[in-house]
Amino acid sequence: MPRPFDRSKKRLAVPLWYERTLALILLANYGLVLFDLTYIPLRDFWLQGTVQLSVKVGPFHRVFPKQPVRIFPFNITPYYDWVKGIEPYRSTTAYLELVDELNSKLDEQALDGAGNVQQAQEIDNILAELRQDSAQMIIENPFQIANKTGTFERIKNRMRLHVFGSTDASATESFETFWSKEYLLKNGLTSQLLFFDREIRPLIATNYFREIGENGQPVDNFGLIDFPFFLIFLVDFLGRTRLISLRYRGISWVDAMLWRWYDLFLFLPFFRWLRIIPLTVRLDKAKLMDLNKVKGQATQGFVAIIAEDMTEVIVVRLVEQMQQLVREGALRKILDRAKTTQYIDLNNRNELVEIIRIVSQVLLQKVLPEVEPEVQDFMLYNMQSSLGQIQGYTQLQSLPGVKNMQREMMANMIAIFYQRILTILQSFLEQDKEFERLLENLLTKLTTELNLELNQQHHLEDIEELLIDFLEEFKINYLQKLSEADIERILGNTAI
């Protein structure tokens, strides 16, 4: 057993500033872990920094707001993509570069052939290449590798709606029409390129290629970032556990490591989100967060989970044990206590006699004297009611002074009778060995005769059977229907 803290070793205690420093380092590390875990699902946001809500229920489809709202001003993907082994997808990147090349050379005069012939030919070649690359993109679906097929469907639907006004049109024909000279001239060059830059380009730009490592899993270099934190936590863990083994006699270094079991989550290269466990413990110990209420709720929730089953099992087991005792003849042994040789008497006293004596003392010395007025009123009322049924009594009460005199006489009689009976009964409760002997003989004779008569008439077997059935019904109807709400109510009234 670990001994209490030795005051001579206060110098071994961990200072509060150190606790807080390590807690803040762990908090920063956990924030980085959460960022890494959510980076792939939220990469579109980190790439563009915009938010737009799309709601689609059956035929109903709305986007709020119409234009994405920028809430994050920086593009951090060039700095973090290498951690996840992300590279630009070649075909989609080349597609956007080809559109940029078209933007740099395109104008109204070159598009309708009124300008430089060589420039017009280059524009025709770019448009033809865009139509060809669009058709190839639709066939190959380069977004599938990045698990962005849904994004690709949004691109095709937006192009269908823009060109033909319906999502049922052909995506290939939509792109082919959009990148045609006739369509661009007819619908306005500037507005069409603006539509592409606002609606199509951001979706295509979200596509990427992620490398696959030799282990068959996508490349993940987060361990390189996490390694410095790993070293800090490892040194801290070894130091703390060594300190525990020095502070407490009988605790080895390995035992101290088991004592700090929650810190082991800091060294797992997987399930890093479980570091929330040591983080909450560290923040609590560093007094940067008060977790008393959280602890209480967690404890109460845990207790509530098991209390219902445990309560039902324990109480049902108790009832079944009572049924088994009845089957084994416990009721017969109780009734035949005086004759049985297997009954164990711990104090050589008849507990039933003592219980009767104690209850009688309290009843006669404390309770009955206090309720004397109520008893007198009750008896007086009943006597008057009984006398009222006698013929001629009512006429007798009509005489002057008879009614009050009769009431006073009956009240005095009742008071004298009540005091006499109370005095006699109290005298019986004095330490009288003969009284105890006679009372014990009376109880013994009573139980013996009751047991004899029940056995002769075979009533005892019926009572045992009925008692067993009653316990079974009680178990089914009440004990096995303990609800979780009852447990929650009980725990809510209990301080945990």
- Whether pLDDT at 337 is above 50: yes
pLDDT band at residue 195 using 50, 70 and 90 as cut-offs: very high
pLDDT at 232: 93
Amino acid at residue number 274: L
- Paired tokens of 313: 């099992």
What is the largest distance, in Å, between two alpha-carbon atoms of the chain? 144
Q: Write down how long the chain is.
A: 496
- Asked if omega into 73 is within 30° of 0 (cis), the reply is no
CA dihedral 393, 394, 399, 400 (to 10 degrees): 110
pLDDT at 3: 46
Residues 6+ apart with CB under 8 A from 230: 266, 267
> How far is the C-alpha of 122 from the C-alpha of 281, rounded, in Å?
67
Residue 251: DSSP 8-state: -
Residue of higher predicted confidence among 208 and 387: 208
Coil, strand or helix at 70: strand
Going by their DSSP bridges, the two strands 86-88 and 60-70 should be labelled as unpaired
Percent with pLDDT over 70 in the chain? 66
pLDDT band at residue 463 using 50, 70 and 90 as cut-offs: confident
Output the pTM of the full model: 0.57
pLDDT at 251: 81
CB atoms inside a 10 Å sphere around CB 204? 20
pLDDT at 256: 84
Q: Please report, for residues 8, 366, 440, the alpha-carbon distance to residue 355 in angstroms, rounded to integers and kept in the order given.
A: 57, 16, 12
pLDDT at 344: 59
CA torsion through residues 394, 398, 401, 404, sign:
positive
pLDDT in tens, 115-132: 566 777 888 888 999 999
User: Of the candidates 40, 34, 142, which has an alpha carbon nearest to the alpha carbon of residue 85?
Assistant: 40
Amino acid at residue number 340: T
Mean local confidence (pLDDT), 355-366: 71
CA torsion through residues 21, 24, 30, 32, sign:
negative
214 and 90 Cβ atoms separated by less than 8 Å:
no
- Whether pLDDT at 354 is above 90: no
Q: Counting runs of H as helices and runs of E as strands, what totals does the chain give?
A: 24, 4
pLDDT at 369: 78
Amino acid at residue number 32: L
Coil, strand or helix at 380: helix
Coil, strand or helix at 466: helix
25 and 17 Cβ atoms separated by less than 8 Å:
no
pLDDT in tens, 275-331: 998 998 888 888 887 777 666 665 666 566 666 566 666 767 777 777 777 777 766
